[in-house]
């Protein structure tokens, strides 16, 4: 059997009428009838009961229809997947990544992406998180990758990976001795931070604000 035969069968079953099904599919009545007869003869089972000039889906046809619709749905999904894939086989994609993502997370993934889609050109630029959001919002790039929260109603975002931040101090710093730190320690410390607009800085500032701590 073919997908065309299944489509014709499903349409005839829906209309319970050869002529109406043929009209809906922009086919001749004889072509639709021939497809149904070929399907029935191929498998040696009647799918419709012929009552005068009318046809009615019988028990075998009802069972077969359920499977036919599943096959047609799978075929449609496969066709959609191929169309989506075709869109990735050629063309260009502009991407902007924040500095941390661009330096550590992105390179190996770009290499794998290029291996899968060698015909797709990649234009990658680097900026901080705010710059990434601005670039996507204004249409200068199609895709942005950044750490931190991007809270803009004009943009859609999703989490694709997680990371953690750690504190780095000199071996001679009091914190290097492994003592337990309290809120006062964080509030009184002198910090070396990324520039305003950086995702890591925004994440750090959000943590400090949550704990009601102010940077000195």
Q: What is the pLDDT of residues 131-181, one digit of tens each?
A: 999 999 999 999 999 987 788 889 998 998 888 888 888 999 888 888 888
Residue 37 has pLDDT above 70, yes or no: yes
Q: What is the pLDDT of residue 182?
A: 84
Residue 169 and residue 195 in contact, taking contact as beta carbons nearer than 8 Å: no
Strand-strand pairing, 48-51 and 54-57: antiparallel
The mean pLDDT of 185-192, rounded to a whole number, is 83
Domains observed in the chain:
3-87 (1.10.10.10), 88-145 (3.40.190.10)
Question: What rounded mean pLDDT belongs to the chain?
Answer: 88
Q: What is the pLDDT of residue 192?
A: 87
Confidence of residue 36 (pLDDT cuts 50, 70, 90): very high
Rounded to the nearest 5°, which phi and psi values hold at 192? -105, 115
Distance in angstroms (rounded) separating the CA atoms of residues 81 and 171: 55
Lowest mean pLDDT among 30-44, 79-93, 102-116: 79-93
Distance in angstroms (rounded) separating the CA atoms of residues 59 and 11: 17
- Tally of CB atoms within 10 A around 127: 20
* Report field, pTM of the whole predicted structure over 0.85: no
Residue 187 has pLDDT above 90, yes or no: no
Residue 28 has pLDDT above 90, yes or no: yes
């Amino acid at each position: 059997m073919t997908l065309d035969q299944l489509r014709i069968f499903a349409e005839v079953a829906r209309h319970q009428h050869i002529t109406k099904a043929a009209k809906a599919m922009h086919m001749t009545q004889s072509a639709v009838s021939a497809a149904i007869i070929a399907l029935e003869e191929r498998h040696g089972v009647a799918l419709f009961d012929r009552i005068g000039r009318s046809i009615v889906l019988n028990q075998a046809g009802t069972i077969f229809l359920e499977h036919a619709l599943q096959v047609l749905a799978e075929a449609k999904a496969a066709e959609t997947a191929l169309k989506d894939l075709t869109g990735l086989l050629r063309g260009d994609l502009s991407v902007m990544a924040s500095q941390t993502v661009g330096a550590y997370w992105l390179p190996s993934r770009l290499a794998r992406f290029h291996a899968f889609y060698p015909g797709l050109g990649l234009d990658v630029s680097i900026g901080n998180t705010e710059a990434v959001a601005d670039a996507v919002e204004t249409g200068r790039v199609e895709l942005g990758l950044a750490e931190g929260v991007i809270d803009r109603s004009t943009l859609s975002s999703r989490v694709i990976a997680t990371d953690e931040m750690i504190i780095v101090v000199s071996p001679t710093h009091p914190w290097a001795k492994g003592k337990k730190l309290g809120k006062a320690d964080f509030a009184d410390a002198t910090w070396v931070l990324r520039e305003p607009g950086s995702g890591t800085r925004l994440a750090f500032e959000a943590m400090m604000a949550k704990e009601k701590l102010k940077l000195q």
